[in-house]
Amino acid sequence: MRATVTTALALLPSAAAFGLTPRVGQPPATVQPRCSDIRAVASLSKPEDLPTLSDAIPDCPRTVWDADELDVAYWQAKFKEEDLPACPLELVATPEANAKGIGYFVERRDEIKQLLETHGTVWFREFDLMKTEEGFRAFWEALDYDPCLDPLHSSGLRKFLSKRDAVYEEVNKQSLSKHYIGLHNESTNKKSAKTAAFVCFKPATVDGESDAAKHGGEFFIADGERIFRDLDPAVLKELYEKKIRISAVNLDMDVLGMLPSGTKEQAMEGAKELVDKTVIPKFDMDFELIWGTDGNEMRLQAIEEVQSPVNRHPVTGRPAWFCNMHNQARFLRDRRPCAVPEVGMTDIYYGDLSLIPGEVLSHVNEVCEKNIVRVPMAPGEVLLCDNYRVLHGRDIFTGERLHAVSWFCDKEDVAAAAAADTGGAQGDVLNNLLNTFLVGK
């Protein structure tokens, strides 16, 4: 839920310290602002003068898994007893806040990060700074966030809107405008961004009219703690104990099925080896190539390793639903608008690769939908999200739409990426070609 008059009064002083108009009904007390050390690039440079980041964006960090020996029943009961804080928390700019520009965010850096840890998402509204790619970058640099590549950058499925500013384009393509993107964390079994900043530059617009009620394209989020809390205890226990595996790529090779016995098996093995050497390395994921998992004998699927559907937060230690089932289960995709080509169709199984029953998937879908908060973003509005706690998605739309995102890691991750030198930033020309081929213009 969003912050409303029911927001805990203890939060009001924090909102007041921001020079913002919080979505609450009672005037907050005054709090003395704190100033952190001012980051040089944010304090000395105008947004348009910021140096390029094109060759300095580190790889996305490794996923921090901490799901062993988790007492799910205890945590479900605990979350039900708690009054979970509003998610997102809306912060609306005042004229004074806008007058300060970059300096405002530099001054309030620590408070904003504390609000993010408490609420999982902060929705910045009516700020002037973030209406351009350069201003958006200046916003998150003022908060001292370090950008990283998208977890799927090397696959070619992600496209920069402004590489110099480490800003990726969201899924605005016309070819996918009628594709509903379900709830997901921006993560794979191997890589996960720590934090995300989603920005709206142009909501879905037709003939100059921007109206989400008419044209769609709304961004939406859901709190992973709330989903964890609301799942049926037996379903959550079974999913946690059995774990899951995600199929990310489908390669249909029916032509090989027409070969005679013996030759067919040899050709299938050769095709599998070719895909393993040429296609799989592009994803930088730990895949196992398996034939016929979904019952289609001639379908070769690239399936991630076994993983937990829940995970402890790397900072707070609190568990949350950390699973892309709402977006990646084919059972659910087949029952909603979907425009992804077969090669990009995903699916999800139990850890032993047995099928997850439709009633289980339907229950997960129901709980996810119950906790979705739609966010009708206007130009310049930003959602700052904790990627380990909050899932995100996007509705179908008509017309033109331009939303973007930057992903962030910790400073320790930047140092680790520099030491590893994984080369994740290379190959953008090939990536762009793959992006056009797989998902269209």
pLDDT in tens, 4-50: 322 232 333 344 444 444 443 333 333 232 223 323 444 446 666 67
- CA 52, CA 69: separation in Å to the nearest integer? 45
Per-residue pLDDT, averaged over 337-348, amounts to 86
* Angle (CA) 67 69 75, round 5°: 80
Long-range contacts of 347-350 (CB under 8 A, 24+ apart): 347/246, 347/247, 347/294, 347/301, 348/244, 348/245, 348/246, 348/247, 348/324, 349/244, 349/245, 349/246, 349/247, 349/293, 349/303, 350/242, 350/243, 350/244, 350/245
Distances (CA, A) of 250 to 55, 129, 213, 297, 431: 33, 42, 35, 12, 19
Domain count for the chain: 2
Tokens read off for 283: 């994803």
Quote the pLDDT of residue 424: 45
Instruction: Assess if residue 82 is contained within a domain.
Output: yes
Structure tokens at 427: 């190959």
- The stretch 391-408 carries a mean pLDDT of 96
Same domain (yes/no): 263, 208: no
Q: What is the pLDDT of residue 431?
A: 47
Whole-structure pTM value: 0.85
Using only the alpha carbons of the chain, give its radius of gyration: 22
> For 141-145, 233-237, 265-269, 343-347, which range has the lowest pLDDT when averaged over its residues?
343-347
pLDDT at 44: 47
Judgement on whether residues 66 and 203 belong to the same structural domain of the protein: yes
What are the Cα distances from residue 320, in Å, to 42, 185, 189?
34, 11, 16
| Residue 360, token pair as written in the block | 């289980």
336 found inside a domain: yes
Is 225 within the bounds of a domain? no
- Residue 99 CA, chain-centre distance (Å), reads 31
- What does the chain come to in residues? 441
85 has pLDDT over 90? yes
| Shared-domain flag, residues 204 and 248 | no
Average of per-residue pLDDT across 88-94: 97
pLDDT of residue 266: 95
Note whether 408 and 315 are same-domain residues.
no
Query: Poorest-confidence range of 62-76, 138-152, 194-208, 270-284?
Result: 270-284
Q: Cis bond leading into 88, ω under 30°? A: yes
Per DSSP bridges, beta strands 89-93 and 121-125 are parallel
Residue 395 lies in a domain: no
Q: What is the mean pLDDT of residues 382-386?
A: 98
Q: Is position 222 within any domain?
A: no
Same domain for 330 and 358? yes
Q: Which two tokens stand for residue 411?
A: 């400073």
Boundaries of domain holding 341:
233-365
- Domain membership of residue 110 (yes or no) is yes
- pLDDT bin (cut points 50, 70, 90) of residue 341 is confident
Mean pLDDT of 112-138: 97
Q: How confident is the model at residue 441 (pLDDT cuts 50, 70, 90)?
A: low
Please report whether residue 227 resides in a domain.
Answer: no
Residues 71 and 148 in one domain: yes
The residues pairing with 402 across neighbouring beta strands, listed in sequence order, are: 202
Is 224 among the domain residues?
Answer: no
The pLDDT, as a whole number, for residue 39 is: 36
Same domain, 339 and 310: yes
Would the pLDDT of 398 be above 80?
Answer: yes
What pLDDT score was predicted for residue 433? 39
CA distance 44 to 157: 35
CB 406 within 8 A of CB 160: no
Give the residue-averaged pLDDT of 379-400. Answer: 97
Residue 35, class by beta-carbon neighbours within 10 Å (0-12 exposed, 13-18 middle, 19+ buried)? exposed
Partners of residue 287 on adjacent β-strands: 304
Residue 330 has pLDDT above 60, yes or no: yes
Alpha helices in 193-258 (DSSP H): 212-215, 224-230, 233-242
Range scoring the smallest mean pLDDT among 45-59, 205-219, 305-319: 45-59
By C-alpha distance, which of 24, 193, 1 is closest to 92?
A: 24
pLDDT of amino acid 439: 46
pLDDT, the chain, mean: 85
- Report the alpha-carbon distance of residue 34 to residue 113 in Å, rounded: 13
- State the pLDDT at residue 153: 87
My answer on whether 22 and 153 are in the same domain is yes
Residue 242: predicted pLDDT: 98
Segment 109-135 shows an average pLDDT of 97
Determine the Cα–Cα distance for residues 236 and 222; give it in Å rounded to an integer: 17
Same domain, 184 and 39: yes
Same domain, 294 and 323: yes
Considering the domain architecture, whether residues 206 and 336 belong to the same structural domain is answered as no
Predicted local distance difference test score (pLDDT) of residue 94: 97
Same domain membership, residue 237 and residue 205? no
Confidence class of residue 415 from pLDDT cuts 50, 70 and 90? confident
- CA gap 401, 235 in Å, rounded: 38
